[in-house]
Structure 1
């Protein structure tokens, strides 16, 4: 029988399916940040939050004296709808790489559903971002301070804060569900895996937990961005693809920077052509990431379907004009949709959201390789771990650990791994979202579900929007979620209901013979691998042939899966043995060569020894001859 927490999570799914009308994607940082550094956004939330600061320890994983240093971690809380006495749930947002107020202002989905659950709402800020600086203004000073910035420490922060808060609020019975989008979605998923005793479920939106090593093709992100523009207009895609060559050609002129500055209407003369290149690059990438079907003001104020609007600008310009000027006109939509900017500041922006810590994380553990293929609308590029490591070493004095995330949280064979021990997780992705390629796109089990939309961005954590498109998308999603919730509930409660009714039916039947509990059990497949599964059935249920057959089928599936895993282990072991054997043969060959050299040297020494013996015998004869002659001449000892 399922646990109480599982029922709570299924009920939550059902209510979400009834209440949600339209949900979209949330931002995950890559290497693009400057567009966020240009303009500070309005960060007012739909409901009031109280700001608190929690005394958090610096290092959760060592017991050195300096690890006990305390810093104050910011979190926001709203108990407006919380039914504390009734055990109302606690919804926790696992903070991203930025000021938590920014995410609270742009995560309306949680605010929309809070009244339905009478839940407590908490937004926790990530260490080293916003106001949660362990070393104050010196937090980014060097690797000695930044060394405490990583995902494992952040997850431990959340766990400690949640436990302490529940204890202080006397709400130990309140179940916790974690939410997150983008990097925060990755943290939410990992938190459920690492701390299942604290959170009963996780909702992870646009969480590319598979964007590491070679799990996902390296070109997938930029291929997805390019496909979004190609779907909107093939001409638009070709214009943007050809604009980079024109920018490079223009920059080679003696007055190239002056011309580029004039074309891009910069507030100040550019110092580098790469500033213009990055400005265009970021506009197209970010627009693909926030290609919502309604107007939005998350990254920048943008119209509905901004990718399509960009392409309309390009397609509407006269043919034969410069591709670079057309690309600039399209990118201006991202930076100046409100038509309030008279010039553009491409260099020297300020970090209004506190995102600079992501550079450190990308250079240490969050190593997500990305390339641009020939099919991309961006210039072809490659990725080299060696060059990337050199850049990080130069910038921070540290080398990346590209395999650490998959070691700590997993990633390979995720379907098999999570199916074995994971539960109560929702991964939402929209295939127009470039980050979707690195997310979980298929259902793993009845309680680990992937919600995927093909035409729009993902079901996300932003607020409900109005409009016909939103209602149509919401109706479709609502129906899917209702069906999923009903099926999941039947899967959980169906067997218990079935056996309950069957037991009552057996009791009601007058002609049924009493069960003989002393009968010996028939030979079962369970004896093939004892201890692999516990299928004990009380009240003589073990003698029910139908139940026995059903249980053995389940056991066969489990045994087959175990054999497949063992086969994979054996293959890996055989591969390791082959490598060891080849290495042993190589060493044996080297030892044989050395032995042959020793034998040859020994033979040479033996010949020399024999010659020395002969010479020694001759010398002894000569010595004896001279000794006799000396004695004859009168020499005495």
Structure 2
């Protein structure tokens, strides 16, 4: 994929006269958002160290289209390994184009791009001088049941009964699903976009996950500062959810769950919940760049099926939901991309990913791993130092990628400390 086909953004406002330092923000499973070129913690670092700032979009996302469409055959060119090769080529081309010489490049990323940042420093140490890998799930796993275990732990911090009430509500929903005459009530209560139809275990699992995902997202992004990106509903926190779930005046746990979902919908300015598996598969199998899942859904699920797994199942007893097991997630791979996908092929792919990158057994130097401990993804990240030059920053009360966002007074008190630590590490590393 020629570098001119990959979208990128440049901010030279902080570049020092000698221009010897470059900060590269790595894009991930969505369009590169230019909001990061004018706001975010990395710009404060750039100002301190006189760095040129560049953000590179990931192939197959946003407007970076290397193929005519997203057919399953073409998606074989979508992988983290290819993304790293793209970064290396882009860095080489831009170094020549901008006359950057032997400048030191520091890579930044959050979530999947956080993993890419760490892996780029590991696999291309001659190009990446250092990496800040925020909320990076570096260990691939097929059945990521720990995700919902962390959701339960996080929700129980201030409301010990919150997860139990959610479990009771979820169990009630499952009981209602056993009788078709309840489908209209469920549709009306949860404001589904169309009348609920359950003709298979995939239909029921998709519906149950569609509801639970609202709670999962609240936990993952609890009290963060994503609003600067244009994200809506950031005012809905774990506290809001659990206050509703604990409010017995609203009725039984089922009625409280209904209230939570409706509250989230209103905050997100969404009219209804899409809960049709049939419609989902139709959208996800559309291979056009203008298709309904082209903003990242078709691409990212493909990467989970072929590289990472990361399937957030209800297979653990220590979590608040029911009804979307590992088998449901693996079946999606088959339904959307290729009938040949099964648990064996996915397991083999995930194993190869960990063999290639090392999983938790990261090797390298000059990488820092900030992780919010509320965030379920921290369970697949580095949460303690691995050596003299591989540092972890566990951040209590902080959410997914929280250290990356612009500073605000209401943020958890650990974040300023974390940013100062990152600044100190960059100061040390850039002197080398």
What interval of TM-score do these two structures reach, taking the shorter chain for normalisation? 0.7 to 0.9
Question: 233, 241, 253: which one pairs with 1:323?
Answer: 253
| SS of corresponding position for 1:255 | helix
Pairing 1:432–2:374 present: yes
Question: 36, 57, 74: which one pairs with 2:7?
Answer: 74
Please say if residues 114 and 132 of structure 2, whose CA atoms lie closer than 8 Å, have aligned partners that are also in contact: yes
| SS of corresponding position for 1:403 | helix
Please say if residues 430 and 452 of structure 1, whose CA atoms lie closer than 8 Å, have aligned partners that are also in contact: yes
Q: Structure 2 CA distance, aligned partners of 1:252 and 1:225?
A: 27
Counterpart of 2:63 in structure 1 is: 131
Question: 414, 425, 429: which one pairs with 1:473?
Answer: 414
Provide structure 1 residue ranges, at least 5 long, that are not aligned to the other structure.
Answer: 1-53, 57-70, 494-637
Q: Structure 2 CA distance, aligned partners of 1:269 and 1:237?
A: 28
Deviations 1:80-115 (A, max 9, x none): 2222x4134111111101111277379722233322
Please say if residues 295 and 304 of structure 1, whose CA atoms lie closer than 8 Å, have aligned partners that are also in contact: no
Q: 1:474 offset after TM fit, Å?
A: 4.4
Question: 207, 211, 214: which one pairs with 1:283?
Answer: 214
Pairing 1:108–2:51 present: no
Question: 182, 188, 191: which one pairs with 1:265?
Answer: 191
Query: Measured at CA, do residues 113 and 238 of structure 1 come closer, stay the same or move farther in structure 2, by a change above 3 Å?
Result: same
Query: Measured at CA, do residues 323 and 107 of structure 1 come closer, stay the same or move farther in structure 2, by a change above 3 Å?
Result: farther
Counterpart of 1:160 in structure 2 is: 89
Query: Measured at CA, do residues 366 and 459 of structure 1 come closer, stay the same or move farther in structure 2, by a change above 3 Å?
Result: closer
Please say if residues 365 and 390 of structure 2, whose CA atoms lie closer than 8 Å, have aligned partners that are also in contact: yes
Pairing 1:307–2:238 present: yes
Pairing 1:392–2:302 present: no
Question: 148, 156, 178: which one pairs with 1:230?
Answer: 156
Please say if residues 135 and 145 of structure 1, whose CA atoms lie closer than 8 Å, have aligned partners that are also in contact: yes
Q: Structure 1 CA distance, aligned partners of 2:394 and 2:225?
A: 19
Counterpart of 1:193 in structure 2 is: 122
Counterpart of 2:295 in structure 1 is: 353
Pairing 1:363–2:305 present: yes
Q: 1:446 offset after TM fit, Å?
A: 2.5
Please give the residue correspondences for 1:164-563 in structure 2 after superposition, counting only pairs within 5 Å. 164-212=93-141, 218-272=144-198, 274=204, 276-292=207-223, 296=227, 300-303=231-234, 306-318=237-249, 321-337=251-267, 340-341=269-270, 343-344=272-273, 346=275, 350-351=292-293, 353-368=295-310, 370-371=312-313, 372-379=315-322, 383=326, 392-397=333-338, 398=340, 399-400=345-346, 401-411=349-359, 413-414=361-362, 418=363, 422-457=364-399, 460=402, 462-467=404-409, 469-470=411-412, 472-477=413-418
| SS of corresponding position for 2:197 | coil
Q: Structure 2 CA distance, aligned partners of 1:113 and 1:168?
A: 24
Pairing 1:90–2:22 present: yes
Q: What TM-score, normalized to structure 1?
A: 0.58
Q: Structure 1 CA distance, aligned partners of 2:421 and 2:133?
A: 18
Q: Structure 2 CA distance, aligned partners of 1:95 and 1:124?
A: 6
Instruction: Give the root-mean-square deviation of aligned CA atoms.
Output: 3.2
| SS of corresponding position for 1:231 | coil
Please say if residues 91 and 177 of structure 1, whose CA atoms lie closer than 8 Å, have aligned partners that are also in contact: yes
Q: Structure 1 CA distance, aligned partners of 2:217 and 2:356?
A: 29
Please say if residues 377 and 400 of structure 2, whose CA atoms lie closer than 8 Å, have aligned partners that are also in contact: no
Q: Structure 1 CA distance, aligned partners of 2:145 and 2:355?
A: 23
Counterpart of 1:145 in structure 2 is: 74
Please say if residues 208 and 322 of structure 2, whose CA atoms lie closer than 8 Å, have aligned partners that are also in contact: no
Q: 1:152 offset after TM fit, Å?
A: 0.8
Q: 1:343 offset after TM fit, Å?
A: 4.8
Provide structure 2 residue ranges, at least 5 long, that are not aligned to the other structure.
Answer: 281-291
Deviations 1:275-317 (A, max 9, x none): 5423321101111110126684668423557011111122234
Pairing 1:55–2:2 present: yes
Q: Structure 2 CA distance, aligned partners of 1:404 and 1:259?
A: 46
| SS of corresponding position for 1:154 | helix
Q: What TM-score, normalized to structure 2?
A: 0.83
Deviations 1:131-162 (A, max 9, x none): 111123x2x123x2111111111100110011
| SS of corresponding position for 1:245 | helix
Counterpart of 1:621 in structure 2 is: none
Please say if residues 310 and 331 of structure 1, whose CA atoms lie closer than 8 Å, have aligned partners that are also in contact: no
Larger radius of gyration: 1
| SS of corresponding position for 1:445 | coil
Q: 1:442 offset after TM fit, Å?
A: 0.9
Q: How many residues align?
A: 405
Q: Structure 1 CA distance, aligned partners of 2:18 and 2:426?
A: 23
Deviations 1:50-99 (A, max 9, x none): xxxx834xxxxxxxxxxxxxx8111111222222x413411111110111
Query: Measured at CA, do residues 352 and 335 of structure 1 come closer, stay the same or move farther in structure 2, by a change above 3 Å?
Result: farther
Counterpart of 1:565 in structure 2 is: none
Q: 1:248 offset after TM fit, Å?
A: 1.7
Higher relative contact order (CA 8 A, sep 6+): 2
